[in-house]
Copies of this chain bind each other. A is one copy, B any other.
Amino acid sequence: MPISLSELALRTGATVAGDGTVVVSRVATLESAGPGSIAFLANPRYRPQLAGTRASAVIVAPEMAAHTALPKLVGREPYAIYAKAASILHPAAPAVPGIHPSAVVDPGARVAASAAVGPNAVVGAGAVVGERARIGAGCVIGAGVAIGDDVTLHANVTIYDGCTVGPRTMLHSGVVIGGDGFGMAEEGGRWIKIPQVGRVVIGADVEIGANTTIDRGAIDDTIVEDDVKLDNLIQIGHNCRIGAHTAIAACAGIAGSTRIGRNCKIGGAAMLNGHIELCDGVVVSPGTGIMRSIDRPGVYSGFWPGLPHGEWKRIVLEAQGLRELAARVRRLGHAIADEGGDDQGGGRP
């Protein structure tokens, strides 16, 4: 998909500096780029690589423009320009419309003529598959599922009965949408399963990473709003609501009935307790567990950085000895008071 720098500027909203007739056909890193590539500098730590790059053009912020003589796209958000340029240079292959002969599509399903259903995929009764949607090989789409226009399901995705997926959403392989929530009542030391009769409702422009699971609601629905981005191996419990534009990194777990606001960022391996609510704009650091609702935007953390084993062990032991240390300090205070000293700092004469 070769394209001139000027054309690329037009389509990404960037400004050209230098020779706009230069043609590029792929993105590359500053380090690995060769002729025909366009590279980008978004993180200042890679600036030293700018001088030596063999790219045909680069994407930079205005303050970096003077540091290279190469033809370039300039804009305040070079990473966003790169994202757009990469999409233009590396478009997804268009779906080849049609239902593969090995696919099993229920006669009661409605598949758009422009959609592609891959080998050995299964589409249940009453399911609807939208225009230009792609259902990858081995996917299983339950009865009554609604798949929007331009949706991409990579291979081996499973969607249980009755769930819905909004337009332009992409689900990666191994994703499971609509499994039963973890709901059961205890009676006399045994468990009674509670049927999970809600659905999962996924908005538009969502992306869900490989092997992530989203459980259907117990009664009402589990909801993933528009433009939510979920990484791999994430668990979303039943009746959660994930607000629009929120991104969650890999290995995170969200327990049931929790609501996350809009434009939140949840770090990898973070864990959110059930039945809590995070307001819009909350950032949760990686590896952090959130036990209570949060009603102010900001960054929340609860993560111990790993240390050489001996140092770490010392901290654990010291923390376990804190009661003794505090007692000793109290005794010192008493001793000083007996001597006429005073440990009430504020009251010292």
Contacts and interface: CB of A to CB of B under 8 A. Distances in A.
A246 B159 CA distance: 28
Given A172-B176, A210-B215, A197 B235 contact: no
Contacts of A53: none
A116 to B, nearest CB: 14
A327 to B, nearest CB: 7
A75 to B, nearest CB: 10
Contacts of A182: 209, 229, 231-232, 249-250
A321 B304 CA distance: 14
A227 to B, nearest CB: 6
Given A189-B245, A287-B289, A332-B336, 8 more contacts: A86-B197, A104-B120, A140-B155, A174-B176, A235-B250, A250-B253, A289-B306, A301-B308
Interface of A: 26-29, 32, 77, 79-80, 82-84, 86-87, 90-92, 100, 102, 104, 118-120, 122, 136-138, 140, 142, 154-156, 158, 160, 170, 172-174, 176, 179-180, 182, 184-187, 189-195, 197, 205, 207, 209-211, 213, 215, 219-220, 227, 229, 231-233, 235, 237, 245, 247, 249-251, 253, 255, 263, 268-269, 271, 273, 284-292, 298-309, 312-316, 318-323, 325-336, 338-345, 348
29 contacts: A79-B185, A83-B192, A102-B102, A120-B122, A137-B140, A138-B140, A138-B156, A140-B156, A140-B173, A154-B160, A155-B160, A174-B213, A182-B229, A182-B232, A211-B233, A213-B250, A235-B250, A253-B268, A269-B271, A290-B305, A298-B309, A300-B306, A301-B309, A302-B306, A318-B323, A322-B325, A325-B326, A335-B336, A338-B341
